[in-house]
Amino acid sequence: MALFTGTQQEYYEGNDYGNYQLVSIRDIINQFMIAYVGEEKIISKARRVDVAFHAKRALAELSFDTFKSIKSQEIELPASLTMILPHDYVNYTKLSWSDSAGIKHPLYPTKYTSNPFKIKQDTDGNYDFVATSGVVSSDDLSNTDFSSALSATNNWTFTPAVDNTPWGGTDVDAVTAGSPTGVTGGSSTRLQFDFKPFTSSYNSVVTGRAYACWQEINVANIDYLDIRAYGSSASVIPNETSGSTIRFGISSTPGDIATNVEKANPGLNNTVSNPGDSSAPNFIPASNGTNGLAYVEWVSTGNTATQKEVLDIDVTNYNVVYVLITSFTDFINTASSPASLSDYSKRRNTLTDVEVIYEGASPDLVRDGDSTTWSNYKSNNPSENTQHDYDYDDHIFEANVGRRYGLEPSHAQTNGSFYIDELKGLIHFSSNISGKTVILDYISDSLGTPNEMQVHKFAEDAMYKYIMHAVLSTRANVPEYVVRRYQKEKFAAIRKAKLRLSNIKLEELTQILRDKSKWIKH
């Protein structure tokens, strides 16, 4: 029946000191289900999930104004004069800085400044919905160096490789990430397309496959795109191939996951380059692209990867476009060709360092850095830095001569001040605190991690009463007098918990009174 199940040696040689004063929320829920739910009880039946919900709400509410505030963080204040709010921050209880002796000096909030949203304006003062530019982020276009395997779930969608029977299906590896030997230029990791021919069932000629991979990008607020990449394609081999081609561009449609086009099929010979066919990549127009379309290509370049680009691709008429890569090899089918398909050499095309650069106009107001209000405040020498000395001619403290009339107590200190920017999640400090050790004491909701979901035993009864009232008040057909009864019991239990946790000691109170005035005797 004892609550302490370990040994004293285990406790003193461990690191879980002082934990006996706490009860886990799991135990609270279990004990509530046993003691407060069942036949001939106020709550005859209750789902555990409902009790768990109300227990968490009780823990959060009591954490705000009943439990002790024990969470804190300390940093060396950087030159930016800012501190990031903790991940589980709800509100602060105290901000201070510590001196060389470890003494905390309290800081006070300033109410006379803020960091408002500074709207970017042009020279005439009009709101400037400026052009934005940069590289398309990894959120919209990922794995552009092909350093990880392709996956349709998180980056590239691709045409699957086809089993070419003469080679047991092992010689066609359509899209893989790796470091192919013998290829120089660009990153070591790259996209590679491997090809060998097969005999077409359509017309019994030697042919190859056309493969592709693609990603979708949102261009709703983008006007122009620039594209560039490093590519290489297999060279011509007499009596085997007339050459290999790899293309990289911007298409209005995605590739066809179900299509593995035979390069020599009638009507499909040019589908990898010309729009109009259902299987074709519809590269959008671009005056400086290849054949007037928004793509670049490498044709039989050999094992040296070179960089190519297309600039100023107009996408103002599109909301969504596709970064599309296609690759194919033309195999020769003549009397002078090799005697069998196995005599053909495997062909490899590669691509890496794909880069898409955008330029457009933001439809939203643009923030023009920190506000002038805050910049002026943090660069100004605060009033707290002003030092007053004695006038040794008349022995009068100069601040006494009418200078502090009407001064607010929060400014009658030299510690400094702070402002919390809730929008950006930052605490800003006055300049006189730069480089000092800043301490933030704060409260959370006690729900961040399983280890902190604990209740002090002084407030255990308050938890039960809170859950009891919450369960009854959310049920139908419960008499109102019953709900009000447990509401009163809840408030009484919370008041009792606050008194217990306030930890008022008579001797400590007496000592405070002694320090208050020398006239008080005991």
Cα 331 from chain centroid (whole Å): 48
Q: What gap in Å lies between CA 252 and CA 260, rounded to an integer?
A: 19
**Helix, strand or coil for residue 213?**
strand
In DSSP terms, 73 is beta-bridged to 440
Cα angle for residues 293, 296, 300 (degrees, 5° grid): 130
Q: What gap in Å lies between CA 431 and CA 414, rounded to an integer?
A: 12
In DSSP terms, 118 is beta-bridged to none
pLDDT tens for the chain, 522 residues long, are 567 777 888 888 888 888 888 899 999 999 999 999 998 898 989 999 999 999 999 999 999 988 888 889 999 999 888 899 999 999 999 999 999 889 999 998 887 777 787 887 778 888 766 556 677 766 678 888 888 877 766 788 887 776 554 443 334 454 566 555 667 888 888 888 887 777 765 556 777 777 888 999 888 878 889 999 999 998 888 878 888 889 999 999 888 765 555 544 433 333 444 444 445 678 999 988 888 999 999 999 888 899 999 999 999 899 999 999 988 888 777 656 676 777 777 788 889 999 998 887 666 666 666 777 777 776 766 555 554 444 445 555 455 555 556 666 666 677 888 889 888 889 988 888 888 999 999 999 988 888 889 999 999 999 999 999 999 999 988 999 999 999 999 999 999 999 999 888 888 888 777 776 655 454
Q: What gap in Å lies between CA 323 and CA 325, rounded to an integer?
A: 7
Q: What gap in Å lies between CA 308 and CA 226, rounded to an integer?
A: 11
281, 225 contact by CB (below 8 A): no
DSSP string, 215-239: EEEE-TTEEEEEEEEEEE-PPPBTT
Cα 275 from chain centroid (whole Å): 39
pLDDT at 171: 43
What Å distances lie between residue 215 and 251, 356, 392, CA to CA? 10, 12, 78
Buried b (16+ CB within 10 A) or exposed e, 292-313: ebbbbbbebbebebeeeebeeb
Rg, Å, the chain Cα set: 37
pLDDT at 117: 79
What are the sequence ranges of the domains in the chain? 135-361
In DSSP terms, 299 is beta-bridged to 245
In DSSP terms, 324 is beta-bridged to 214, 249
pTM given for the model:
0.52
Q: What gap in Å lies between CA 10 and CA 32, rounded to an integer?
A: 29
211, 349 contact by CB (below 8 A): no
Helices and strands, number each (H, E), in the chain:
7, 27
- In this structure, what token pair is assigned to residue 463? 């938890």
Topology (CATH level 3) of domain 135-361: Jelly Rolls (2.60.120)
Q: What gap in Å lies between CA 249 and CA 356, rounded to an integer?
A: 10
- In this structure, what token pair is assigned to residue 244? 């290999």
Backbone angles phi, psi at 69, to 5 degrees: -90, 110
